[in-house]
Chain A
């Protein structure tokens, strides 16, 4: 089937920063994203898990954006402005998509 080049950007970020990130993405003209829950993890700031937690200080989400390659830079700048002072991981992968008109 006909596929089209795109980028898959996966931003793992603190849950409390999610709305700030998605607002920045929308301002950067990202047309869509998907948010995945995260159960736990580990990094320089130690290990954590959401089990039994009610507080919002710990816990992360993954925001996944599929975008046209030419929009990548704008997106990364927007994402970076939010994660800059915060913990979080941004990973970019080349991908192909169906229905390119959607992006």
Chain B
């Protein structure tokens, strides 16, 4: 990889949003969980590029969700096959695509306890494209085997599983996921394959030449900063201000 010493003309969040928007692709409905500003940015970017498609649900925000059937509707909707893309993360993620949102150490006497599995043990199975997103790319987070499987990356062929992971996006790189293994697809500008290998606890495949992650184009940056950022500010005002310098008042004031 060719390191550039010139300062980047975009912020890391913009790169990640662009990467994720490409992963989303041409689908009907993307749902984004609470406290996920970068996936939310990506979903809104995909919607702008698709002229209103996909439909985007931002779960933290009553204004950006249509639910009228209570807390179960998200899961029912996914079970119906009406959510095409969702995002999950993990205190640990392993090389088999297993995610751990529960604990480190022995389950009965954990060293570290995380909040819990949330809806992962259902959504990971039924949403066709689950994008794993964890900015911290380290041997602490990306491990050979998780201590607790909140939801597995893959199942035996007879298990009903229309969904599962398609990729893992970190602050360093993009992995794709297929056949129970990750493949290094590209390394973000400012990072190297050696960095990725050193900081990844699990084995992964990689081609002889790993490309740089394509930086966001001027068109994309313009779209992000001028069109997406004001929409984002309604839900993530602090993030929008910090990353894009856009305040909520631009829209609502």
Co-complex (A, B):
no
